[in-house]
Amino acid sequence: MDMNSATSQFKERFGYSPAHIIRAPGRVNLLGEHVDYNDGLVLPAAIDRATYIAFSPSATNHSTIAAVDFDQQAVFSIEGLSTKTQRNGSPLPEWAHYPAGVMWALGEAGLATPAMDAVFLSNVPRGSGLSSSASVEMAFVLAWQTLGGWTRSPMERALLGQKAENQYVGVNCGIMDQFASACGEENKTLMLDCRSLEYRSLPLPESVSLVVADTTVRRKLTSGEYNNRRNACEATVKLLQSDLSDIASLRDVSLEDFNRLAHSLPPELERRSRHVVEEIGRVKQSQSWLEAGDLQRFGQLMNQCHVSLRDLYEVSIPELDAMVEVAQGLRGCYGARLTGAGFGGCTINLVEREQAGEFVERLANGYKSKTGLHPGIYICRASDGARLL
């Protein structure tokens, strides 16, 4: 799936060739899970699976957007955004909340969103923890930038996409997913400070592959568990502020202070917040291992992260645990853990490139024998961020 598919689908739907094509990647997070909304440090990489959008300015005053993967289209304009309705008054389909949300967020920022004809399609598996929604948002932000005659930096585009997801779609996500899709760099992982939005790129050696293993168990973020975890973190900060008056988020709590005060927290809040405080420490530690090319030690941090997500943050499920357990026992695997919000979706595995083919085969067989499920497994590499092709 690539720009050629997007072009041919556009011609089929609209009867003429598209003016532009954009590719916006999905992302995988190597370390720093559930810390982005705690002002922490995260370590994502954009991957070579992406959303492609083919588009042209429309001759009408409404946008017609076809989602090839759903075999549906939506027709809407600025007037229907507040009621989430199409031009004919029917509700926008759920997938259309993402492009419509982007149009809304851009409008709120005073940026032009001329009507467009567009088709989009993606090889980022939906609901798998690889940020298919962020890749759609970044594709449409860049599409409207292309048609609207304004320019924003990749980080500014990421923030506009996050606003669409938070305030229009209704998922209270942090900035990491949109950031990675907008700012990705080939063969690099990005260490992002979610408070200052400063970031640096760190090397991923060419000798490793990022193997993404999809459990095929789907999750739905809007179902509330994500927001429950976020609320637990905020409640912990309020409780700890009586002793640590200058903290604004869990990012500000040292492990030493946390260990001293943990006994005063309700057990559930203690578990949730311990994961966050320790995970931020793991990301800080990872910089020196990546710069030194020490993949063994970096992989150990990934393994520790999975245990913490499973036992403290409690966002794993038996299928994710089975996938990780099989992977960690295979030759060539430096580290394995669930990636994304959890409750289903994918694991990320850091694997010696020469072993990747054999690793995939053995992982698929081992997972199937434990669960009876046929996983989707993808050998990926770190890729560039969203761009006009």
Q: Say if residue 220's pLDDT is above 80.
A: no
| pLDDT score at 221 | 53
Higher pLDDT, 268 or 129: 268
As a whole-number percent, the residues of the chain with pLDDT over 90 amount to: 89
For residue 123, the SS3 value is coil
The average confidence (pLDDT) of the chain is 95
Look at residues 257, 259, 261, 274 and name the one whose alpha carbon lies nearest to residue 312. Answer: 274
What pLDDT, on the 0 to 100 scale, is given for residue 324? 98
The closest of 277, 270, 273 to 233, measured between CA atoms, is 273
Exposure string of 41-66, with b = 16+ CB inside 10 Å and e = fewer, is bbbbbbbbbbbbbbbbebeeebbbbb
- Measured CA to CA, the distance from residue 377 to residue 367 in angstroms comes to 11
Give the contacts of 215 (CB within 8 A, at least 6 positions apart).
317, 319, 320, 323, 344, 345, 346, 347, 367, 371, 373, 375
* Calpha distance 187→210 (Å, rounded): 10
Asked if residues 61 and 115 have their Cβ atoms less than 8 Å apart, the reply is yes
Calculate mean pLDDT across residues 277-291: 97
Q: Catalytic residues, which ones?
A: 177
pLDDT digits (tens, 9 = 90+) for 136-179: 999 999 999 999 999 999 999 999 999 999 999 998 788 899 99
pLDDT band at residue 129 under the 50/70/90 scheme: low
Mean pLDDT of 4-14: 96
What per-residue confidence (pLDDT) applies to 342?
Answer: 87
Say what the pLDDT of residue 223 is.
58
Cα–Cα distance measured from residue 77 to residue 60, given in angstroms and rounded to the nearest whole number? 10
pLDDT digits (tens, 9 = 90+) for 176-210: 999 999 999 999 999 999 999 999 999 998 899 99
What Å distances lie between residue 229 and 48, 308, 317, 341, CA to CA?
Answer: 30, 14, 16, 10
- Give phi and psi for 314, each to the nearest 5: 55, 55
Percent of the chain with pLDDT over 70: 98
What is the rounded average pLDDT of the residues 240-259? Answer: 98
Domains and CATH numbers, the chain: 3-205 (3.30.230.10), 208-380 (3.30.70.890)
Q: What share of the chain is helix, strand, coil (3-state, %, to 5)?
A: 45, 25, 30
Per-residue model confidence (pLDDT) at position 261? 98
Q: Is the pLDDT of residue 308 over 90?
A: yes
First CA to last CA across the chain, in angstroms? Answer: 14
349 forms bridges with which residues in the sheet?
Answer: 211, 336
- At 222 the pLDDT is 47
pLDDT, tens digit, for every residue of 369-381?
999 999 999 999 9
Q: What is the mean pLDDT of residues 8-29?
A: 96
Cβ atoms of residues 40 and 279 within 8 Å: yes
Contact between residue 6 and residue 119 where contact means Cβ atoms under 8 Å apart: yes
pTM over 0.85: yes
Helix (H) / strand (E) containing 52: strand 41-57
